[in-house]
Structures are given as structure tokens and as C-alpha cells.
């Protein structure tokens, strides 16, 4: 069975809902009332989507230094460091990320204590806990991620209680409802277990239309939900919508390529190759992404009977040397699968 590592990650964990991460839309629903902060958020978040991490870091450092009374600078600095490490498959700077997230949580809790009905204070804490849960999930600290993630969803529900039109909340809640229902399908015959997959999708669709700061997260979530549901044409439509605004965004292109695997493998090969060649040359090592993408490409080539080409790519992968311990820990099982694939093809 052909399995791509990133699609397996999304299919395995309903913790996708905690990817409360950094996406923006041209038409803003809810925006932060301070226009100068709104402008920084708009610019910085778009820079992250377009993988311009150094520029985004500079902007959010400026925000953190000039507005120490709110947690947004710290939240999005952590977002930059997480996104960059995830994209480049580099080790996370745990000390730095944790420092920013813990600092953001303290500020958020202090603001919330002074005004429990302030929607932005509630949002700050929910967003911070969402990032903490996501970061825990990336490090496979599942119990912590689940606990903090539930608290994050509860915080977003509080936002909706204050303002039913606060569409930012729909992204986390919609994702949660879908993946929770998906992973408990085997007991949904019980009277107290509701199937809320369709409701979750509806929430995400509304978030795409009306959300201010995180509508692209709703798009991203829907791509993988449609893949999970085998609604590949819908997944393609959603991914292409995102790529119209951010044509160089690897996070959306990964979803588009995965969606084409079951419809047009040749097209998926083209897209995966675009992703492979899109990483900046300044990266110290890109072996994990190179191995992963080439393996996926080889699998798709087999589907269209390009066996010789697939074998060449397997040889390319197996000729790579000089892995670090971190890299081997991440891809040793994939390398074994490449060896097995080569043997099957010979």
C-alpha cells in the first residue's frame, strides 16, 4: 500500500484541529481594533505563508518589543519558529519556542483576569493554548496536547458565547468536531456519541467565508478532511483556491499534490517535484524532505508504469550519505521502505 508520510500524519491524528497557525485572507472578517497591530499581523502572517520566515520574524520581534502588554508578538514569533522548523524538517528550538508560548500564556491569563468578557483576551488565551497543543503534538506529547487542546477549543467556544459572529472560533471547533467524530466512528452507534463530521465541515466552510485572521487554516483543514473523505476533486478545488493567493506556499501545494495522487498521478509527480525544488539553497541540510518527496514521486511513477524512472529515483535516495542522528531518527523507516520498493521493482 502506498502511503505518503505527511498525509499519514494528518489521517492519523485528529489533533489537526490544534494547528491554530498563521494564515490570513485578503478580506478580513474580525480584525484587531488597533490598526497598527492589524497591519503588522496582516503582513507578518502572509510572510509566514509564503515561507519568508526571516522577514516575518523581524516584524513580530518589532511587535513584541513595542507592545509588551499583549501576547501577539510572542504568539507569532513562536509560530514563525515552529513553521520554519516544520517546513525545513529541522530540530525545533524548544527553549525559544517554549519561552515565547509560556510568556504569551501569562500575558493572556493576566488580561483575561482583568476582563473575563473581553473577546480578544479570550481569543489570545485560546490561540496560545492551541499553539502549545500543536507544538506538543509535533513532539508526540499526546496527552499534553490533548489536554491543552481541549482547553483551547473551550476557549474558542467562550469567544462564540461572547459574540456568535466571531468566526475565528469556527476553525478550531469545526476541525475538532470533524476529527473527533472521525476517530470515534466505531462507537457512534451509542446514543451519547454524536456524528458531527458534517457540522465540522460546515463550520470550516463558514470560516473560509467570514474569518479574519485564520481563514487559510480553514482551507488547509478542509483540504485534508476532503482527502480523508476521498473527496479528491473538492480537495483540489480548495487547494487551488489557496494557491491563487499564495502560489509559492508549500503547505498548500503538499495538499494539492496529495489530492492528485488518486486522480492524476502524473500531475502529482509534477507538483511534488515543484515542492522539492522550491526549498532555498541556504538550508544546511534538506535530506529529510528530499528523501520523503523522492520516495512519494517514485510511488506515483509506478502508478503510471514508469518503472525505470522509479528505480532511478530509489537509487538516488539510497545513494544519499552523511545523515545526522536527527535525520536518521526521522526517516530510517522510510529508507527501509525505499529498499523494499527497489527490491520489488527489480
213 Cα distance to chain centroid: 15
Question: Containing H/E element for 152?
Answer: helix 142-162
Residue position matching grid coordinates 509564503: 50
Q: What's the rounded mean pLDDT across residues 128-132?
A: 92
Q: Please, what sign has the CA dihedral across residues 4, 272, 219, 36?
A: positive
Contact indicator for 180, 164 with CB cutoff of 8 Å = no
Q: What is the pLDDT of residue 6?
A: 52
The pTM of the full predicted model, rounded to 2 decimals, is: 0.85
Query: 241 Cβ partners below 8 Å, 6+ apart?
Result: 219
DSSP class per residue in 173-198: HHHHHHHHHHHTGGGTTSTT----HH
- Is it the case that residue 191 has pLDDT exceeding 80? no
Chosen CATH of 5-245 out of 1.25.40.10, 1.10.10.10, 3.40.50.300, 1.10.10.60: 1.25.40.10
Cα–Cα distance measured from residue 121 to residue 161, given in angstroms and rounded to the nearest whole number: 14
- Is it the case that residue 317 has pLDDT exceeding 80? yes
Q: What's the rounded mean pLDDT across residues 127-139?
A: 89
For the chain, the average pLDDT equals 85
Q: What is the pLDDT of residue 12?
A: 36
* Maximum CA extent, the chain: 69
Q: What's the rounded mean pLDDT across residues 124-144?
A: 89
- Is it the case that residue 330 has pLDDT exceeding 90? yes
Cα–Cα distance measured from residue 288 to residue 124, given in angstroms and rounded to the nearest whole number: 34
Contact indicator for 122, 112 with CB cutoff of 8 Å = yes
Write the pLDDT tens digit of every residue in 229-239.
Answer: 899 999 999 89
Cα–Cα distance measured from residue 180 to residue 150, given in angstroms and rounded to the nearest whole number: 11
Residue 296, all three cell numbers: 512519494
Q: What's the rounded mean pLDDT across residues 167-171?
A: 72
Q: What is the pLDDT of residue 215?
A: 62
Q: Please state, for a pLDDT cut of 90, what percent of the chain lies above it.
A: 59
Q: What is the pLDDT of residue 13?
A: 38
Lowest mean pLDDT among 35-49, 84-98, 156-170, 326-340: 156-170
Q: How confident is the model at residue 108 (pLDDT cuts 50, 70, 90)?
A: very high
Query: 203 Cβ partners below 8 Å, 6+ apart?
Result: 170, 171, 173, 174, 177
How many other C-beta atoms can be found within 10 angstroms of the C-beta atom of residue 306?
Answer: 18
Q: What's the rounded mean pLDDT across residues 92-116?
A: 97
Residue position matching grid coordinates 508504469: 305
Residue 17, all three cell numbers: 484541529
Cα–Cα distance measured from residue 252 to residue 90, given in angstroms and rounded to the nearest whole number: 20
Cα–Cα distance measured from residue 62 to residue 322, given in angstroms and rounded to the nearest whole number: 38
Q: What is the pLDDT of residue 28?
A: 41
Q: What is the pLDDT of residue 21?
A: 36
CA distances (Å), origin 229, targets 101, 198, 202, 232, 269: 34, 11, 14, 8, 22
Q: What is the pLDDT of residue 127?
A: 92
Higher local confidence (pLDDT), 9 or 231? 231
SS3 at position 48: helix
Q: How confident is the model at residue 170 (pLDDT cuts 50, 70, 90)?
A: confident
Cα–Cα distance measured from residue 308 to residue 93, given in angstroms and rounded to the nearest whole number: 41
Amino acid at each position: 500500500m502506498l502511503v505518503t508520510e505527511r498525509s499519514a500524519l494528518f489521517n492519523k491524528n485528529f489533533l489537526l484541529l490544534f494547528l491554530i497557525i498563521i494564515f490570513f485572507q485578503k478580506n478580513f472578517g474580525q480584525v484587531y481594533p488597533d490598526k497598527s497591530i492589524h497591519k503588522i499581523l496582516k503582513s507578518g502572517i502572509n510572510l509566514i505563508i509564503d515561507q519568508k520566515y526571516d522577514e516575518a520574524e523581524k516584524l513580530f520581534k518589532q511587535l513584541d518589543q513595542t507592545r509588551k502588554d499583549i501576547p501577539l508578538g510572542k504568539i507569532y514569533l513562536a509560530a514563525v519558529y515552529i513553521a520554519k522548523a516544520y517546513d525545513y524538517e529541522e530540530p525545533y528550538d524548544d527553549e525559544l519556542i517554549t519561552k515565547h508560548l509560556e510568556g504569551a500564556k501569562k500575558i493572556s491569563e493576566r488580561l483575561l483576569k482583568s476582563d473575563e468578557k473581553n473577546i480578544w483576551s479570550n481569543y489570545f488565551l485560546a490561540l496560545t493554548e492551541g499553539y502549545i497543543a500543536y507544538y506538543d503534538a509535533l513532539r508526540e506529547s499526546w496527552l499534553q496536547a490533548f489536554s491543552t487542546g481541549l482547553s483551547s477549543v473551550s476557549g474558542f467556544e467562550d469567544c462564540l458565547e461572547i459574540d456568535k459572529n466571531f468566526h475565528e472560533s469556527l476553525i478550531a471547533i469545526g476541525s475538532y468536531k470533524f476529527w473527533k467524530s472521525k476517530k470515534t466512528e466505531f462507537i457512534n452507534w451509542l446514543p451519547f456519541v454524536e456524528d458531527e463530521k458534517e457540522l465540522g465541515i460546515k463550520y470550516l466552510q463558514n470560516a473560509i467565508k467570514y474569518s479574519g485572521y485564520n481563514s487559510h487554516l480553514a482551507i488547509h483543514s478542509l483540504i485534508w478532511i476532503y482527502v480523508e473523505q476521498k473527496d479528491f476533486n473538492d480537495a483540489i478545488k480548495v487547494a487551488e483556491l489557496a494557491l491563487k493567493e499564495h502560489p509559492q506556499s508549500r503547505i498548500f501545494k503538499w495538499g494539492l499534490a496529495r489530492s492528485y495522487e488518486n486522480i492524476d498521478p502524473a500531475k502529482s509527480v509534477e507538483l511534488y517535484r515543484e515542492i522539492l525544488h522550491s526549498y532555498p539553497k541556504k538550508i544546511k541540510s534538506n535530506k529529510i524532505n528530499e528523501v520523503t518527496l523522492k520516495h512519494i514521486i517514485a510511488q506515483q511513477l509506478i502508478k503510471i508504469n514508469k518503472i525505470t524512472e522509479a528505480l532511478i529515483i530509489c537509487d538516488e535516495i539510497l545513494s544519499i550519505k552523511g545523515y545526522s542522528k536527527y535525520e536518521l531518527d526521522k526517516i530510517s523507516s522510510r529508507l527501509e521502505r525505499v529498499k523494499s520498493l527497489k527490491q520489488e521493482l527489480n
